[in-house]
Amino acid sequence: MLQVAPELVADLQRGGVEPVRRALDAAIQLEHSTIPPYLYALYSLDPGKNGAIASIIRSVVVEEMLHMTLACNILNALNGTPQLNSPDFIPVYPGHLPGTVQGQLDVGLAPFTLDLVRDVFMVIEEPDTPLQFRIAEVAVQKPMTIGDFYRSIRDKILDLGTNAFSRTPRHQIGPDRVEFAVVVTNAAAAAQAIDVIVEQGEGTATRPGEVVGHDFAHYYRFAEIVHGKRLIPNPAADPSGPPDQQYVYGGAPIVLDTTGVFAVPTNPTAALYPPGTVARRLCDTFNYTYTALLGQLHATFTGQPGRLTAALGLMMSLEQQAKDMMSGLNTGGVGVGPSFEYLPLL
């Protein structure tokens, strides 16, 4: 499992609203930092050959965007200000994710493999005690996970009470713009938003499904890919039996076609591609678009919700750029990996 840095937890225990704001800043950075690795793996897949796997990863990315939105809503409601439009907002890949234990898990930009899903993506999303569903796992110690970190923030917010919140809705993104978004105006709504983040990522101690949403939690969606079968209710289970006997990886097959993974570099940077080449131009254009997207999201979460429309347009442009790059459409079949670097237009 991915562990949260102890200093973040220690800061949160000091009490008061400022440590909660700092924790939410870290949470926003952490939510965003998972998106480029997930997207890189997603865009390395030929959807015509690996559509089921691509669909699962895409569904997780959409909810990671929701989680970032919810964390921004809570921070805004506590009179803080999200800071997305900065070079420091983007982590260096490969490396540890913001707010996590340094050196514990290196996360990079890599084309899809089952090992990547099992050894990186599932580790990021792993809850304290994952429901096994017939899959034997080696027992490990359980320090603070991302879910635990969010629950700690939740406890501190409830301690702060509603007086810590803005008296009127402040820079909120609601469900009319992002499905399942929670408008945060008080401690109870903030706790509800955190519950959505945790349960969509980890599930609960008794069930793998989301409380808010239509699917299994992220950890179990990635497990479906690794085990090669959909998670389904166990027809032989006693309804009163243990939670991990209620489901089984025994549904429709999810088969990886290795010929449907584009041959792209791992952990590329723009410097990998010589200046003046088509590959470098494509990589720079992608990074310009990515940086512009962060700018639009920053504006969206700091009082200009109408800018979300422009952000969504840039997201679609990024997706098409990445697919064309990784398939080698304009480079003679040679895959070019987007580097997700901060590169503003001068």
Binned at pLDDT 50, 70 and 90, residue 143 comes out as: low
Closest by CA to 294, choosing from 91, 98, 153, is: 91
Q: How many whole angstroms separate alpha carbon 143 and alpha carbon 149?
A: 10
Q: What is the pLDDT of residues 101-115, one digit of tens each?
A: 777 899 999 999 999
What whole-number distance in Å separates Cα of residue 290 and Cα of residue 193?
A: 27
Q: What pLDDT, on a 0 to 100 scale, did the predictor assign at position 211?
A: 63
Average confidence (pLDDT) over 183-202: 92
| Whether the predicted pLDDT of 141 surpasses 50 | no
Using one digit for the tens of pLDDT, what is the confidence trace for 45-94?
999 999 999 999 999 999 999 999 999 999 999 999 999 999 999 999 99
| Residues 14-50 pLDDT 10s | 889 999 999 999 999 999 999 999 999 999 999 999 9
134 or 324, greater pLDDT:
324
List helix spans (H) across 78-121.
114-116
Angle at CA 130, nearest 5°, toward 22 and 234?
140
The answer to whether the beta carbons of residues 314 and 289 sit under 8 Å apart is yes
Cβ-contact 298, 85 below 8 angstroms: yes
CATH number of the 6-261 domain: 1.20.1260.10
Q: Return the pLDDT at 167.
A: 84
Confidence of residue 212 (pLDDT cuts 50, 70, 90): low
Pick 206 or 248 by higher pLDDT. 248
For the entire predicted model, the pTM comes to 0.85
72-87: b (≥16 Cβ within 10 Å) or e: bbbbbbbebebebbee
Q: Please enumerate in sequence order all residues whose Cβ is within 8 A of that of 167, keeping only pairs 6 or more positions apart, or say none.
A: none
Query: What's the rounded Cα separation, in Å, for the pair 144 and 2?
Result: 8
Return the pLDDT at 138. Answer: 35
Enumerate the domain spans of the chain: 6-261, 263-346
Residue 210 has what pLDDT?
A: 66
pLDDT digits (tens, 9 = 90+) for 239-277: 899 988 999 999 999 999 999 999 999 999 999 999 999
- CA–CA separation, 334 and 60 (whole Å): 28
Which residues are paired to 248 by β-bridges? Answer: 232
